[in-house]
Chains A and B, each alone.
Chain A
Amino acid sequence: MEVRKPHIKSIPYEEWNDNSSLEKIVDELHEGGVNVVTGSLDQLINWGRSNSLWSLTFATSCCGIEFMACGCARYDFARFGFEVTRNSPRQADLIMCAGTITHKMAPALKRLYDEMAEPKYVIAVGGCAISGGPFKSSYHVVKGIEEIVPVDVFIPGCPPRPEAIMYGMMQLQRKVKIEKFFGGANHKQTAEEAALGVSNEELTFREKHGDHRRDCAPHSDLQVREPMVITEVPQEFVNEMKAATESQHTVKEEDKA
């Protein structure tokens, strides 16, 4: 097993530049009958995450049927761990946006995306979700869901074949596998990214459409609130607490008596 730049305080990095020290320790343990695997926690977590990507069932039109076909006998994407679809955004890892998004549906899509827990991903399936597709000239169709939510993977086609959908899902797997689950980025961060703690992709989206986490719904509860900082303790509260502790003391004394 390959170890990528382990950082352990007590052992200087140079000492096991070729992994030999570590491998030696592992071999010794194996010989002693202990099963040991070494690696970074990020790799382990991402291995697990990438192989159990649960999608929100969000099929509005034709592409949804192909998504169903993916899950059934011939294509069977359970092989990749995608087979669990969730009907609640709280339980889903990604939105599989399969189909046209109309103006009436757009607020619903936005809300579902906002309701999902991080880390979350979006896959735009088919021409309609990517750009409006054949309905680009309609008065009631959103010209690509990237106007509303940040998209991770685009799967072109009208509708894309199940093979294409699976290929797109595998691209998302690749993306998940190289993430740093405990923060930081897997690329050289600019000063702005490091300060904000977000990815460059997120920043690009913000440049185009604004901060979707903050600006999304100014009137709804989903808005990120400013933290409340209390600097002064109100006198009433102090008095109440004093009274409470005193009464406790008196009770105890009564008990003793």
Chain B
Amino acid sequence: MKLEFLSFDFDKFASEMQNLKDKKGFDYLVTIVGEDFGSEGNGQTGESGLGCVYILENTKTHERCSVKQMAKKQVCGDGMSSNGSCDLEGQTLAYIPTVSNIWKVADLLEREVYDFYGIVFLGHKDMRRLFLRSDFKGYPFRKDWKFNDEYTLEDDVEPDYGLEYFIDKDGNLQSKQNRLFGSDDYVINIGPQHPATHGVLRLQTVLDGETVKRIYPHLGYIHRAIEKMWEGMTYPQTLALTDRLNYLGAMQHRHALVGVVEEGLGVELTDRIKYIRTIMDELQRLDSHLLYTSCVAQDLGALTGMLYGMRDREHVLNCMEETTGGRLIQNYYRIGGLQDDIDPNFVKNCKDLVNYLRPTIQEYMDIFGDNVITHNRLENCGPMSLEDCINYAVTGPAGRASGWKNDVRKNHPYDMYDKVEWEQCTLTGCDSMDRYLVHINEMYQSLNIIEQLIDNIPEGDFYVKQKPIIKVPEGQWYYSVEGVAGEFGVYLDSRGDKSPYRMKMRPMGLSLVGAFDPMLRGQKIADLIATCAAIDVVIPDIDR
């Protein structure tokens, strides 16, 4: 989607955003992109070169729009230092009014922008760093940041308060501290090295006995700064890193990246490429969902259930491996098509796989999904209503379990998805059990899609030749695909160079992690593990 930015007057920004949600129905905040636009903003008084791009969707009509807002800057007032621990006095800060009171998902998204660009959001209750250590110096994504990769083995001393910034009645920028914990709170850390968090996620959990009172997610333990690295790479070089995000959704991630570049270049793909990409995406989805069913079983202590899923996952990997040569990291799509043509045995292997898998999926239900213990553990566990799901942007199977029809393949069809017959799987249980069942149902749909396409792959080129040095013309694009656990999108701002000016991903898991707190308040701590398992988060995808 080529982005045409709406822009509002700075003072009216908050009310206009509220209008967009209330009057025009843009109730789903897809992502917030922080960006260092360079010196272009300096013409106006008080404006910095920093700003944000908001991408919004109307969930009824699936119309999308984008808003660009430049940040103002001001020297911090004296009030900053009166709270004792703040050394921000005299520093120039860029600021934008918050939208976290309009769309709840903005809570973490704005903290991300603050972390990387140092833009503070007025009215946001908890302006702490999200990914980087609290003693990190500077804001690494700014263009004038001086590269520094020193590190320490000392423990990070984290603040136990969040800062809230506001403009006082004299028009000065001030801040105040909001305590994160009460004096009687019992706090335990789950992670960053915990077997049930599927990686290095850290959930700081406030407990009252066994009951969860509050969850503060701490991210960044696998933050590899892919987006920053992209800014120094040529377009073909950028491709290599996406496979390593959610390594179970390698194909979809790269699909979104090549998709946005191809849209910028205006490449017309052949039907053969579209067919193969669709089939590969669905194979990847099967791979991921099989691992998901395994992991849910394992996290709830059903080890046999895990071995079943992992056994069949090897068959899926075989299918892809013969063509791509990789098990996890596929490196298959490239700008303008595919790395290579499909293997001669690919069609036969896929058909065998479909025939094998269709009756086998029932086995997972027999051994785990229909088990009474599973039902007792997962039903009413981590509930979230449809309205909240949209507000917290819980996309993917987790949102569909609450009845939100959010499948990008249906809403914004790409490749062959509008030419094949398949159903969007939604349920209305709003809990972990239905999240599990949506995954099971989607596996059948993936098999349906593969079955319809596999016999009809048309002849043609598997690669549309591109120039040796790829330069995307100036402009901004956003392209999203249905990843394995939600919408995965890539925003591209090109200035006509051979490397992107700014590229930003919409990770699938970030909004899911943000939703843990409302889902689990009042639930038992053991339900946290079950919810975490059933919602399907993969941490390298969140941290990027």
Give A contacts to B, CB under 8 Å: 57-62, 64-66, 68-69, 72-74, 87, 99-100, 102-108, 110, 112, 134-135, 137-142, 148, 158-159, 161, 216-217, 219
Give B contacts to A, CB under 8 Å: 131-133, 140, 147-149, 151-156, 192-195, 199-200, 220-226, 228-229, 232, 240-241, 244, 247-248, 291, 306-307, 310-311, 313-314, 327-329, 539-540
Contact at A65–B193, with CB atoms within 8 Å?
A: no
Q: How far is the CA of A59 from the CA of B222 in the complex (A)?
A: 11
Contact at B224–A102, with CB atoms within 8 Å?
A: yes
Known contacts A106-B151, A107-B153, A139-B140; is-contact A134 B240 (Cβ 8 Å): yes
Known contacts A108-B193, A134-B240; is-contact A139 B228 (Cβ 8 Å): yes
Q: How far is the CA of A120 from the CA of B72 in the complex (A)?
A: 54
Residue from A65, A108, A135 within 8 A of B224 (CB atoms): A135
Q: Which residues of B contact A103 (CB under 8 A)?
A: 133, 149, 151
Residue from B154, B226, B248, B329 within 8 A of A159 (CB atoms): B329
Min CB distance, B337 to chain A, in Å? Answer: 23
Known contacts A104-B156, A148-B153; is-contact A65 B328 (Cβ 8 Å): yes
Q: How far is the CA of A108 from the CA of B307 in the complex (A)?
A: 30
Q: Which residues of A contact B193 (CB under 8 A)?
A: 58, 108, 112
Known contacts A103-B133, A139-B148; is-contact A161 B221 (Cβ 8 Å): no
Contact at A140–B132, with CB atoms within 8 Å?
A: yes
Contact at B149–A74, with CB atoms within 8 Å?
A: no
Contact at B307–A72, with CB atoms within 8 Å?
A: yes
Q: How far is the CA of A40 from the CA of B63 in the complex (A)?
A: 77
Contact at B327–A134, with CB atoms within 8 Å?
A: no
Give B312's nearest chain A residue, CB to CB. Answer: A73
Contact at A158–B329, with CB atoms within 8 Å?
A: yes
Q: Which residues of A contact B311 (CB under 8 A)?
A: 72-74
Contact at B229–A138, with CB atoms within 8 Å?
A: yes
Q: Which residues of A contact B314 (CB under 8 A)?
A: 69, 72-74
Min CB distance, A131 to chain B, in Å? Answer: 14
Known contacts A65-B248, A66-B327, A72-B306; is-contact A138 B153 (Cβ 8 Å): no
Min CB distance, A162 to chain B, in Å? Answer: 8
Q: Which residues of A contact B226 (CB under 8 A)?
A: 135, 138
Most buried by B among A138, A139, A142: A139
Known contacts A72-B311, A108-B192; is-contact A100 B153 (Cβ 8 Å): no
Contact at B244–A110, with CB atoms within 8 Å?
A: no
* Known A135-B229, A141-B149; 17 more pairs at CB < 8 Å: A60-B540, A61-B244, A62-B328, A64-B199, A72-B306, A72-B307, A73-B311, A103-B133, A104-B221, A105-B200, A107-B153, A108-B193, A137-B232, A138-B224, A139-B140, A139-B228, A216-B153
Known contacts A65-B248, A107-B154; is-contact A100 B291 (Cβ 8 Å): no
